[in-house]
């Protein structure tokens, strides 16, 4: 059972290995319509219904719980649900699942799809041995009763409020607007930035933030470390002479930052793209005196939860894109750069694949669809087009929009109600918005752009580029240092 990505993970497992096993029946509970290609192969689809989904669960012998490893903050609610109904699980080896699943006791882990063959061979014997599968299910139920009963949870919450958060009185939960009182005493601020770069330069947001710190404070005063272990080993050998440590993104390693280091540490990350990462973000925010995140919605929720010291610091563009010469558009086309997936993007109920399929049929070679490209290649492709198309994750402002504005390119975008969006973008001024799912409205705006002359497009692009000059990561870094009291 699951929305979006969970369903696709199960379907991918079926295509890779599960179709080989003739003696199993795979049932997927989803709010979406069945996949006809897999229905023919014997996969059963049950429409999610809040009142009846348990009926399907009750018929199952085992519950399959795959999880994308790129989502380290995923909760274990699906495993808890299975255990509460006395069902063992097969699940991917994921931090949240490893907290409560004991391999061979209340379920089984798989590390790669091929592992499922061996596990399900065992399960075939389990199904035939009612006492064994019942015992696994009972063990799962006992796990839930022990760790998720109301008293246990209440006691943990009391510990959190009274000791971990050092807040003896609930009334003291209020956002603080006071600055830390730290002051720059005349010496150059020395900063370590900790993040894991991706294989290609500028694929990671950390590259932009690291570059911004170099621009603001000077290259000689900034150091980069790939992970927490490397940071600790280096500084243990060379002395902890840094004034500030900047931890990028929401990395589970940040739970292990030494307490004495936290007084000089901040976290800089991005919004949670929904609810699944929020508890992870909240727990990490508890550890830091200052956190800067791009999701204003997340900041509001964290303040409502009683934490202070969290600031809205939205995404931006990198100043290096302004160093790219903004050429006249030479291709009378619209360009989409990014991932093409089948996850619902917005309230219009459409996926990126749906959008691009419909637009490709209408515009053919006047719509250019490109996978993930970065750096100068990205700049060249976008600036040679009349306009770019952005299909964002729900409630996300998005770096691509800041980047295309900085390069002087008109961007078409679904109006998805991203918090803070109106602070930076205006329909018809530096972005063209369309109602989510309204293909007719989107096509009208595309037609309007394609009917414009090259001078008209270039003139509009220049205006947009000039408006965006002060929306850079460098400006965000200056805001952070000012908020900390350093400058």
Task: Parse the chain into domains and list their residue ranges.
Answer: 5-148, 191-316+474-484, 319-470
Give residue-wise pLDDT tens across range 112-138. 999 988 888 877 766 666 677 888 999
CATH topology of domain 5-148: Rossmann fold (3.40.50)
Complete DSSP assignment for 242-293 = -SEEEEES--GGGGGS-HHHHTTEEEEE---SSSTTHHHHHHHHHH-SEEEE
Q: Which two tokens stand for residue 267?
A: 């976290």
Tell me the C-alpha distance between 88 and 323, whole Å: 57
pTM of the entire structure? 0.62
CATH architecture of 319-470: 3-Layer(aba) Sandwich (3.40)
Q: Which two tokens stand for residue 457?
A: 């497009």
**89-92: strand order across its sheet:** 63-65, 89-92, 107-110
Q: What is the pLDDT of residue 292?
A: 93
Arithmetic mean of pLDDT, 87-110: 90
The residue with tokens 């996969």 is 43
Lowest mean pLDDT among 67-76, 225-234, 239-248, 420-429: 67-76
Identify which has the larger pLDDT, 246 or 24: 246
Query: Using 50, 70 and 90 to split pLDDT, how confident is the model at 184?
Result: very low
Lowest mean pLDDT among 50-64, 187-201, 269-283, 316-330: 269-283
The DSSP symbol for 327 reads P
Q: Which two tokens stand for residue 439?
A: 């293909």
Of 152-161, 199-208, 231-240, 372-381, highest mean pLDDT: 231-240
Q: What is the pLDDT of residue 129?
A: 65
Average pLDDT, the chain: 83
Arithmetic mean of pLDDT, 388-407: 85
Q: Which two tokens stand for residue 400?
A: 């691509």
Question: Within the chain, how many helices (H) and strands (E) appear?
Answer: 19, 16
Q: What is the pLDDT of residue 70?
A: 62
* Of 472, 325, 464, 445, the residue nearest 405 (C-alpha): 464
The DSSP symbol for 29 reads E
Of 276-280, 420-424, 450-454, highest mean pLDDT: 450-454
CATH topology of domain 191-316+474-484: Rossmann fold (3.40.50)
Arithmetic mean of pLDDT, 344-356: 77
Asked if the model's pLDDT at residue 347 lies above 60, the reply is no
Q: What is the pLDDT of residue 179?
A: 36
- Could you tell me which residues come within 8 angstroms of residue 280 by beta carbon, excluding any fewer than 6 positions away? 72, 73, 250, 252, 272
Arithmetic mean of pLDDT, 256-270: 89
The radius of gyration of the chain from alpha carbons, rounded to an integer in Å, stands at 25
Evaluate whether 122 touches 104 at the Cβ level (below 8 Å): no
Alpha helices in 129-258 (DSSP H): 130-147, 150-159, 205-217, 228-238
**Angle in degrees, CA 113, 114, 117, rounded to 5:** 110
Identify which has the larger pLDDT, 101 or 151: 101
Arithmetic mean of pLDDT, 387-405: 84
Counting residues of the chain whose pLDDT is more than 70, the rounded percentage is 87
């Amino acid at each position: 059972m699951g929305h979006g990505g969970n369903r696709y993970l199960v379907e991918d497992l079926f295509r890779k290995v599960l179709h080989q096993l003739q003696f199993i029946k795979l049932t997927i509970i989803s709010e979406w319509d069945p996949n006809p290609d897999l229905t023919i192969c014997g996969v059963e689809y049950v429409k999610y219904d809040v009142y009846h989904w348990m009926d399907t669960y009750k018929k199952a012998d085992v519950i399959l719980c795959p999880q994308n490893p790129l989502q380290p903050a995923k909760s274990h609610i699906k495993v808890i649900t299975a255990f509460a109904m006395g069902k063992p699980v097969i699940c991917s080896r994921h931090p949240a699942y490893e907290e409560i699943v004991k391999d061979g006791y209340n379920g089984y882990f798989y590390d790669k799809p091929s592992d499922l063959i061996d596990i399900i061979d065992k399960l075939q014997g389990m199904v035939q041995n009612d006492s064994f599968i019942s015992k696994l299910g009972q063990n799962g139920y006992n796990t839930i009763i022990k760790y998720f009963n109301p008293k246990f949870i209440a006691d943990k919450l009391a510990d959190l409020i009274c000791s971990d958060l050092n807040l003896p009185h609930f009334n003291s939960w209020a956002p603080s607007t006071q600055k830390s009182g730290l002051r720059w005493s005349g010496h150059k601020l020395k900063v370590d930035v900790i993040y894991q770069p991706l294989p290609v330069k500028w694929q990671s947001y950390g590259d932009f933030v690291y570059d911004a710190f170099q621009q603001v404070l000077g290259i000689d005063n900034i150091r980069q470390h790939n992970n927490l272990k490397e940071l600790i080993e280096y500084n243990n050998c060379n002395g902890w002479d840094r004034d500030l440590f900047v931890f990028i993104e929401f990395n589970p390693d940040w739970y292990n930052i030494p307490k004495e280091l936290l007084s000089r540490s901040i976290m800089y990350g991005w919004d949670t793209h929904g609810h699944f990462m929020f508890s992870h973000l909240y727990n990490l925010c508890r550890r830091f005196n200052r956190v800067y995140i791009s999701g204003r919605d997340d900041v509001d929720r964290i303040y409502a939860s009683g934490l202070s010291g969290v600031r809205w610091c939205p995404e931006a563009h990198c100043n290096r894109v302004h160093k790219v010469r903004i050429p006249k558009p030479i291709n009378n086309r619209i360009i989409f750069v990014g991932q093409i997936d089948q996850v619902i993007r917005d309230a219009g109920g459409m996926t990126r694949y749906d959008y691009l399929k419909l637009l490709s049929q209408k515009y053919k070679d006047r719509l250019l669809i490109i996978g993930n490209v970065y750096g100068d290649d990205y700049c060249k492709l976008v600036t040679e087009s009349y306009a770019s198309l952005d299909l964002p994750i729900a409630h996300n402002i998005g770096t691509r929009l800041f980047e295309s504005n900085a390069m002087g390119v008109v961007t078409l975008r679904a109006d998805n109600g991203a918090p803070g969006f109106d602070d930076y973008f205006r329909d018809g001024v530096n972005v063209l918005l369309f109602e989510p799912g309204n293909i007719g409205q989107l096509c009208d705006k595309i037609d309007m752009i394609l009917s414009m002359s090259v001078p008209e497009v270039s003139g509009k692009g220049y205006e947009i580029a000039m408006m965006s000059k002060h929306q850079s990561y460098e400006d965000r870094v200056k805001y952070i240092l000012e908020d900390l009291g350093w400058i």
